[in-house]
Amino acid sequence: MIEDKNQEQTKISDLGEFGLIDHLTKSFNIKQKSTIKGVGDDAAVLDFKDKKIVLTTDLLIEGVHFDLSYVPLKHLGYKAVMVNLSDVYAMNASATQITVSIALSNRFPLEAIEELYAGIELAARNYDVDIVGGDTTSSNKGLIISISAIGEVMREDVVYRSGAKANDLLVVTGDLGGAYMGLKVLEREKEVFKVDPNNQPELDPYTYIIERQLKPEARKDIVKLLKNLDVKPTSMIDISDGLSSEIIHLCKQSKVGCDLYEDKIPLDPQVISTCEEFKIDSTMIALSGGEDYELLMTVTQDDYPKIKGNPNLTVIGHMTTEDAGMHLVTRDNAKIALKAQGWNSLSDPE
């Protein structure tokens, strides 16, 4: 993951702003029928006919949301798109377009930005979204990425955070905690590299969790799966900050409580073994780790037969009345209050 510093380098200032934009956007293809006009004018023009649109946006800052010393630029570009598509899927919508704004300092040669865009374009291609606009500018502060995503959905299919009812089942996709433990491993390797740059890291036992951190995949497939199963969740949210924090969002916005069962939380064996190695409690990591980009939803009890046994969907608890509160039911059957211990970027020291 250490970049080759000897590759050929082109100064971005040689191209100029318009030259850079032309260079980066010339390979963008339009595939969505709803895209009437992509890049190249004051704004993109889109047509969704009778569908509703969903709109979401995210801002990623070097040194706060990513560290280029262990995140390859191509992966960073890919992940920046995933973060936004995940929000679109959490509305039960299909993602259709993104805009990409990048600010970068002169320390980045053209080839670095091409790497970043290669990741963005790969994500757009894999997820069938058009890149329809954006902004490229200079920065005196490293790399900043701002992506907005648009999706389309029939009005009756929109799923908000606020529709959960008491007795609904709490369901999560995939498994949790991997992205955070992947980050822990990468941070450790960075420290080792500082001490001995010739040390080749032994990352084989961590491939799954490192991929969860560096190349997460948004759950486009789940929106399709739910449609095929004829299940409309009563509420849904994506897991960016950690399971605990997201459950609290659903409960507060739906005005319900919940019982989450510790022994039901899906964990990959690599997460469990790495947690043991780092002497961290794996439940705590699943609850607070963040960046998993799985979907958390509630479904009615009536829909249980439809989701039962599906390898993508795990029932981890059920909703209760608001006054019953939000609880984790531990393996030894103790009930403890759920707390949002998710990654809270604003309380980090500067």
Q: Which of residues 2-31 bind a second copy (CB under 8 A)?
A: 12-13, 15-18, 20
Q: Which of the stretches 60-68, 114-122, 186-194, 316-324 binds a second copy when contact is defined by CB under 8 A?
A: 60-68
Question: Cβ–Cβ contacts within 10 Å for residue 15, how many?
Answer: 16
**Binding residue for a second copy, selected from 208, 267, 340, 341, defined by CB under 8 A:** 340
Residue with tokens 């374009």: 121
Distance CA 204, CA 178 (A): 15
User: Cα dihedral sign for 259, 262, 264, 268?
Assistant: positive
Structure token pair of residue 213: 């951190």
Which residues from 175-214 bind a second copy, rule CB under 8 A? none
Q: Please state the closest distance from residue 306 (CB atom) to a second copy, in A.
A: 23
- The CA distances from residue 289 to 150, 178, 279, in Å, are 27, 8, 15
Q: Which of the stretches 147-155, 187-195, 278-286, 305-313 binds a second copy when contact is defined by CB under 8 A?
A: 147-155
Which residues from 108-137 bind a second copy, rule CB under 8 A? 132-137
Structure token pair of residue 97: 């377009």
Q: Which of the stretches 38-46, 269-277, 298-306, 307-315 binds a second copy when contact is defined by CB under 8 A?
A: 38-46
Distance CA 58, CA 86 (A): 11
CB-based contact 206:182 (threshold 8 Å):
yes
DSSP state of 240: S
**Binding residue for a second copy, selected from 197, 309, 311, 349, defined by CB under 8 A:** 349
Which residues from 149-178 bind a second copy, rule CB under 8 A? 149-151, 153, 155, 158, 160-162
Residue 140 in contact with a second copy, rule: CB under 8 A: yes
Nearer to a second copy, 311 or 349 (CB): 349
Nearer to a second copy, 21 or 329 (CB): 21
Residue 253 in contact with a second copy, rule: CB under 8 A: yes
The two beta strands, 35-37 and 295-299, are unpaired
Q: How many CA atoms lie within 13 A of 184 on its CB side?
A: 20
- Residue 193: phi and psi, rounded to 5, are -60, -35
Q: Please state the closest distance from residue 30 (CB atom) to a second copy, in A.
A: 14
Q: Please state the closest distance from residue 61 (CB atom) to a second copy, in A.
A: 5
Residue 59 in contact with a second copy, rule: CB under 8 A: yes
Residue with tokens 């291609």: 125
Q: How many residues bind a second copy (CB under 8 A)?
A: 82
